[in-house]
Amino acid sequence: MEGPKVTPWEVQIKTEEDYKRLIELFGVKPLTNELKERLKELTGELHLLIRRDFYYAHRDLDLVINDVEEGKGFFLYTGIAPSKGSMHIGHLVPFILTQWFQEKFGANVYIMFPDEEKYWAKKVDSVKEVQEKIRNIHARFIAALGFDPDKTFMFMDSEYIKQLYSAAIPIARRINISTAKSVFGFSGDTSIGLVFYVALQIAPTFFEEKRPLIPCGIDQDPYFRVQRDIAPSLGGYKTADILSKMVWGLKGPYTKMSASDPESAIFVTDDYETVKRKIFKYAFSGGQPILELHRKLGGNPNIDVSFFWLKILFEPDDKKLKELEDSYRNGELTTGELKEYTIKKIWEFLEPLQKRAKKINIDKYFYEGKLAQEMWNWKFPLP
Amino acid sequence: MEGPKVTPWEVQIKTEEDYKRLIELFGVKPLTNELKERLKELTGELHLLIRRDFYYAHRDLDLVINDVEEGKGFFLYTGIAPSKGSMHIGHLVPFILTQWFQEKFGANVYIMFPDEEKYWAKKVDSVKEVQEKIRNIHARFIAALGFDPDKTFMFMDSEYIKQLYSAAIPIARRINISTAKSVFGFSGDTSIGLVFYVALQIAPTFFEEKRPLIPCGIDQDPYFRVQRDIAPSLGGYKTADILSKMVWGLKGPYTKMSASDPESAIFVTDDYETVKRKIFKYAFSGGQPILELHRKLGGNPNIDVSFFWLKILFEPDDKKLKELEDSYRNGELTTGELKEYTIKKIWEFLEPLQKRAKKINIDKYFYEGKLAQEMWNWKFPLP
- Residue in chain A nearest B116 by alpha carbon: A169
CB contact under 8 A, A193 and B187: no
Residue B10's pLDDT is what?
58
Residue range A73-92, pLDDT digits in tens: 999 999 999 988 889 999 99
Query: In chain A, what residues touch B172 (CB-CB under 8 Å)?
Result: 120, 191-193, 196
Residue A12 has pLDDT above 80, yes or no: no
CB contact under 8 A, A177 and B188: yes
Query: In chain B, what residues touch A81 (CB-CB under 8 Å)?
Result: none
B2: confidence class by pLDDT, cuts 50, 70, 90: very low
Give the number of other CB atoms < 10 A from CB of residue A241.
29
- Range A176-203 burial, b when 16+ CB lie within 10 A, else e: bbebbbebbebeeebbbbbbbbbbbbbb
CB contact under 8 A, A161 and B162: yes
Which domains, and CATH codes, for chain B? 6-248 (3.40.50.620)
Yes or no: say if A77 and A207 are a contact pair by the CB < 8 Å rule.
yes
Pairs across A and B, CB distance < 8 A? 124
Query: In chain A, what residues touch B174 (CB-CB under 8 Å)?
Result: 191
CB contact under 8 A, A199 and B192: yes
Closest partner CB to B192 (pick from A116, A189, A195) = A195
Residue A11's pLDDT is what?
57
Yes or no: say if A158 and A115 are a contact pair by the CB < 8 Å rule.
yes
A313: confidence class by pLDDT, cuts 50, 70, 90: very high
**Nearest-CA distance A48 → chain B (Å):** 40
- Residue in chain A nearest B123 by alpha carbon: A173
Q: What is the number of helices (H) and of strands (E) in chain A?
A: 19, 9
Residue A1 has pLDDT above 60, yes or no: no
Residue A64 and residue A240: Cα distance in Å, rounded?
A: 7
**Nearest-CA distance A33 → chain B (Å):** 40
CB contact under 8 A, A189 and B178: yes
Query: In chain B, what residues touch A125 (CB-CB under 8 Å)?
Result: 383
Residue A6's pLDDT is what?
61
Alpha-carbon Rg for chain B, nearest whole angstrom, is 21
CB contact under 8 A, A126 and B166: no
Q: Is B13 in a helix, a strand, or coil? A: coil
Mean pLDDT of B231-236: 96
DSSP structure class, residue B117: H
Residue A9 has pLDDT above 70, yes or no: no
Interface of A to B at Cβ within 8 Å reads 116, 119-120, 122, 125-128, 131, 158-159, 161-162, 165-166, 168-169, 172-178, 180-181, 186-193, 195-196, 198-199, 382-383
Closest partner CB to A177 (pick from B127, B172, B192) = B192
Residue range A131-173, pLDDT digits in tens: 999 999 999 999 999 999 999 999 999 999 999 999 999 999 9
Mean pLDDT of B28-41: 97
**Nearest-CA distance A192 → chain B (Å):** 5
Query: In chain A, what residues touch B117 (CB-CB under 8 Å)?
Result: none
B4: confidence class by pLDDT, cuts 50, 70, 90: low
Sheet holding B29-30, edge to edge: B29-30, B55-59, B240-244, B211-217, B74-79, B109-113, B152-156
CB contact under 8 A, B198 and A180: no
CB contact under 8 A, B192 and A180: yes
Residue B222 and residue A9: Cα distance in Å, rounded?
A: 31
- Beta strands at A6-7 and A10-11: parallel, antiparallel or unpaired: antiparallel
SS (H, E, C) A310-332: HHHHHCCCHHHHHHHHHHHHCCC
Closest partner CB to A173 (pick from B177, B191, B198) = B191
CB contact under 8 A, A120 and B172: yes
pLDDT > 90 in chain B, percent? 87
Residue A271 has pLDDT above 50, yes or no: yes
Query: In chain A, what residues touch B159 (CB-CB under 8 Å)?
Result: 162
Encoded amino acid at A352, one letter = P
**Nearest-CA distance B172 → chain A (Å):** 5
B1: confidence class by pLDDT, cuts 50, 70, 90: very low
- Residue in chain A nearest B131 by alpha carbon: A382
Residue B26's pLDDT is what?
87
Residue A352 has pLDDT above 60, yes or no: yes
**Nearest-CA distance B227 → chain A (Å):** 14
- Range B349-359 burial, b when 16+ CB lie within 10 A, else e: bbeebbeebee
